[in-house]
Structure 1
Amino acid sequence: MHVRAAATLVLLAWHPLAQAAEQNIPAGTEGQIEFNTPSGNIGCIYTPKGGTSTYEPQDGGPELSCSRVAPSYVTIILGPKGPATLIKSPGEQSCCSDATKLAYGKSWSAGPFSCESSTKGLTCTATNGHGFFISKAKVTVK
């Protein structure tokens, strides 16, 4: 019983999305969706399968790319297969545009990806079980 309870707690710690109300964020003309956390320190771009006229994800997509500005600039890329990729020194530092804010306590989803914004940071997962947590204090990829 204790093992099952511990496993459930671990699962809930990584997948809190079931409790958050979904926030609708409209897609741009080519299907990309951009959002920031309320702090403005983290920004994400969802690119649909096939990409756009100016950007095609490495594996054809879909893709979720999130960047954190401070204390150091990092980018995490999550595709439909495999674990998230952490880039500690991305060349391009374009975060964070004047995009829709994903309110604390709200979730967002598109394609195989779901994210939840909280005062502790941003948790995003793919349907394959891989994902990441990103905040000012830390970054964890899975």
Structure 2
Amino acid sequence: MRLSFLALAPCLSLAAPVAAQDYVTFHSPSGNIHCAMHARNYVAVRCDILEGTLSFPQRPADCDLDWGRAFEVGAAGPGQPICHGDTVIHNDSPVLPYGQQIAFGPFTCTSEMSGVTCTNQGGHGFTLRRAAQQVF
């Protein structure tokens, strides 16, 4: 289990040149899924889901923080639910419209009407939907 402590970051426009930035944030058009993509120092994508049926409801014994609504994938290895005491939810972050994707560092996230999928260059990541969350 991975413990994540991402600080809330100022929102950046997806229209800005992302190559010079450390991170970008966005949320789904429904506002149910919020994400932060980091490409320096801490290299990972994390997304939090506000509402939905939890696919990972069993909190690990060593997690005494929040569980089941935050997911992360690093530059290598599979995606995973994380134990967290913070959030990447920021209502002022830009919307990633359905059918669009953003590539940042070694990551790509795609927004669809059914949910958000984020992957690393190895093809690992997660998909978050109201009905279920999947890591791979």
On whether the aligned pair clears a TM of 0.5, the verdict is yes
Could you tell me whether the CA contact under 8 Å between 1:25 and 1:35 is conserved in 2? Answer: no
1:44 corresponding residue in structure 2: 35
1:63 aligns with 2:44: yes
Structure 1 partner of 2:26 = 35
2:132 counterpart residue number: 138
Is residue 95 from structure 1 mapped to residue 89 from structure 2 by the alignment?
A: yes
Checking the alignment, whether the CA contact within 8 Å between 2:79 and 2:126 is kept in structure 1 is: yes
TM-score, structure 1 normalization:
0.67
Question: Among 93, 111, 120, which residue is 1:117 paired with?
Answer: 111
Q: 1:10 aligns to what?
A: none
> Contact 2:47–2:88 at 8 Å: present in 1 too?
no
Query: For the residues of structure 1 that align with 2:121 and 2:79, how far apart are their CA atoms?
Result: 12
Q: Distance in 2 between matches of 1:125 and 1:79?
A: 9
Partners of 2:132 and 2:114 lie apart in 1 by 10
Q: Deviations over 1:34-65 (max 9, x none)?
A: 00000001000011221xxxxxx3xxxx2111
Deviation at residue 94 of structure 1 after TM alignment? 4.8
**Does the 8 Å contact 2:34/2:88 carry over to 1?**
no
Residue pair 2:99, 2:111 contacting (<8 A) in 1 also: yes
Larger of the two Rg values belongs to structure: 1
Equivalent position of 2:58 in the other structure? none
Note the residue ranges of structure 1 that are not aligned, 5 or more in a row. 1-23, 51-56
Q: When the two structures are superposed, what TM-score results if normalisation uses the length of structure 2?
A: 0.70
1:78 matched residue in structure 2: 73
Task: Give the % identical residues.
Answer: 30
| 1: CA distance, partners of 2:124 / 2:35 | 17
